[in-house]
Amino acid sequence: MEHVSDDDESEEDKTKGTCATMWHLKGNLIYMVCIWGLTCLYFIITNIQYWVTLYLIDSLHSSTSSAQTAFAILCVTGPTAGAVASGPLTAYVGGYQSKNAMKLALVLAVIAGLVAFPLAIVDNFWLFCIDLWLYLFVGGMLVPLITGTYLANVEEEYRTTASALANIIYELFGCAPAPYLYGLVQGATGGSKSKWGLATTLMINIPALILVFVGVSY
């Protein structure tokens, strides 16, 4: 008779426990809409981080030094300021467990969509930078807000797996494919000077907004 060690049984139990947790989480609507909404946001932010310097140089005709300086300032100050502002604002509406948290997320998602709309149209370097900073600021508010909301709506014993699964989805469907798909659009619409890569990226705000709306309606 084949002997099965306690370690093997323990690993098997852990695997079964993880699969059962993932199966349980898929039925949590707030969790699902939050992680897929954040995946949309990470898709957009990844493309901004990866491509916006070249966009400033090739499409808005700024100098390399100006583009690099603007990129550094925008990508550090915008999300940081948003994250700092997110905590007090979330506390003001009742915290992550409050139904007002998803309503606040919806308001911020609408603002993000409105702010994002002019980015692919604006031709002025400074107007683009101001608009992009506002978008990154609102995005910086949304990330901790939505993350805290989905964790607050997951049972405590499932939170570790829920966080790990969320990060896998962010990477696989948000961060990893974003630069490649942006490049495909650019290549198909005129090359480095095309604005369609950015425009297509910003359209991902639409499914993100729909997902947050579903979460509010739940």
Angle between helices 100-116 and 205-217 (to 10 degrees): 160
What does the alpha-carbon distance between residue 179 and residue 182 come to, in Å, rounded to a whole number? 5
d(CA 181, CA 40): 13
pLDDT per residue, tens digit, the chain (218 aa), is 445 455 554 555 555 567 888 878 888 899 999 999 999 999 999 999 999 999 999 999 999 999 999 999 999 999 999 999 999 999 999 999 898 999 999 999 999 999 999 999 999 999 999 999 999 999 999 999 999 999 999 998 889 999 999 999 999 999 999 999 999 999 999 888 899 999 999 999 999 999 999 999 87
Q: Could you give the angle at the alpha carbon of 109 between the alpha carbons of 59 and 134, nearest 5°?
A: 45
User: Please, what is the Cα angle at 52 between 77 and 140, to 5 degrees?
Assistant: 35
Annotated domain spans of the chain = 29-217
Whole-structure pTM value:
0.89
Write out the CATH class of domain 29-217: mainly alpha
